């Protein structure tokens, strides 16, 4: 069991998808895209590693964000190893080292197993910056290894697996060998729809949106699935933005989501989307529970 943790937008979900060779965790350029814990199962000839992709660790007073951080922190408990990932293109300067060091120590203190530090996005920096960057992070915590990687390009990914195999205990397989995740198709469909909202809308819309699958009906004879989903927004003024002129934006979201869902589940998908306003849902504890927090 290996937890993937780190600040928002460090590339944790991209790394998980790259390691598995299939997209199961949604990815956008916007921080705090991942809201729930996603399980990814990597099967090798003589190993099975269960990864937990987690929301980004950050400071926040909002209820939704606090729940996201709690999910990430809880994921540190009972692990066999931790991959702590940071964005190498945002270097740890001497000026912000004390503040970041103090913030990261809150996270590191929860770790009771071997931890590897991954310096991601090294394809975006001058390679001469790598060694100083390693030195700056090595001073913060006794990592078992510090590894420069590019999750997007797959650079350093085989070395991560090799390093993990040196620290992980032997044990049983938790999942069948053909499993990639324990997430339901229903959950993954909602995540894909939310990803398209993140990618195709701007300003505050992504962070004010949530997706709930109302029905997921399978038709084995036609090898198809009919999905009814609701996109929740916080304010009435956001609704026309997501719908777009003549419904163009909502149609664009639906087409993009349907294509990815079909690729994921291998069946024809009929996707119907609705929009509802749920004022201040990010602060509504009951509604957050309905969303799985």
Which residues fall in the annotated binding site? 6-13, 53-57, 120-123
DSSP assignment string, the chain: -EEEE-STTSSHHHHHHHHHTS--S---SSTT---S-EEEEEEETTEEEEEEE-PPP----SHHHHHHHHHHHHTTTT-SEEEEEEETTS---TTTHHHHHHHHHHHHTT--S-EEEEEE-GGGS-GGGHHHHHHHHHTTS--SEEEE-BTTTTBTHHHHHHHHHHHSPP---SS-TT---S--HHHHHHHHHHHHHHHH--TTTGGG-EEEEEEEEEETTTTEEEEEEEEEES-GGGHHHHH-GGGHHHHHHHHHHHHHHHHHHSSEEEEEEEEEE-TTGGG-HHHHHHTT-
Known binding-site positions for GTP: 6-13, 53-57, 120-123
Token readout for 252 is: 């664009």
* Alpha carbon distance 148, 151 (integer Å): 10
């Amino acid at each position: 069991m290996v937890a993937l943790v780190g600040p928002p937008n460090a590339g944790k979900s991209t790394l998980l998808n790259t390691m598995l060779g299939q997209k199961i965790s949604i990815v956008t350029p916007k921080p705090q895209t991942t809201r729930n814990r996603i399980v990814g199962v990597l099967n090798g000839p003589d190993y099975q590693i269960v990864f937990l992709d987690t929301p980004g660790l950050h400071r926040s007073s909002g209820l939704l964000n606090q729940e996201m951080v709690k999910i990430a922190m809880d994921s540190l408990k009972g692990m066999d190893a931790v991959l702590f990932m940071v964005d190498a293109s945002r270097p740890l300067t001497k000026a912000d080292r004390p503040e970041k060091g103090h913030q990261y120590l809150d996270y590191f203190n929860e770790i009771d197993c071997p931890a590897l530090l991954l310096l991601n996005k090294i394809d975006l920096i001058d390679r001469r910056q790598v060694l100083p960057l390693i030195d700056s992070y090595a001073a913060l915590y006794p990592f078992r290894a510090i590894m420069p990687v590019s999750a997007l390009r797959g650079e350093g990914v085989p070395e991560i697996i090799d390093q993990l195999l040196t620290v992980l205990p032997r044990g049983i397989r938790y999942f069948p060998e053909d499993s990639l995740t324990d997430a339901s198709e229903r959950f993954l469909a909602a995540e894909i729809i939310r990803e398209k909202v993140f990618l195709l809308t701007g300003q505050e819309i992504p962070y004010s949106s949530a997706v709930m699958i109302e029905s997921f009906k399978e038709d084995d004879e036609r090898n198809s699935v009919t999905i009814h989903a609701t996109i929740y927004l916080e304010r009435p003024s956001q609704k026309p933005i997501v719908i777009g002129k003549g419904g163009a934006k909502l149609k664009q979201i639906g087409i993009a989501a349907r294509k990815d869902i079909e690729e994921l589940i291998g069946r024809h998908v009929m996707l119907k989307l609705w929009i509802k306003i749920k004022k201040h849902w990010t602060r509504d504890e009951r509604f957050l529970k309905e969303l799985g927090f």
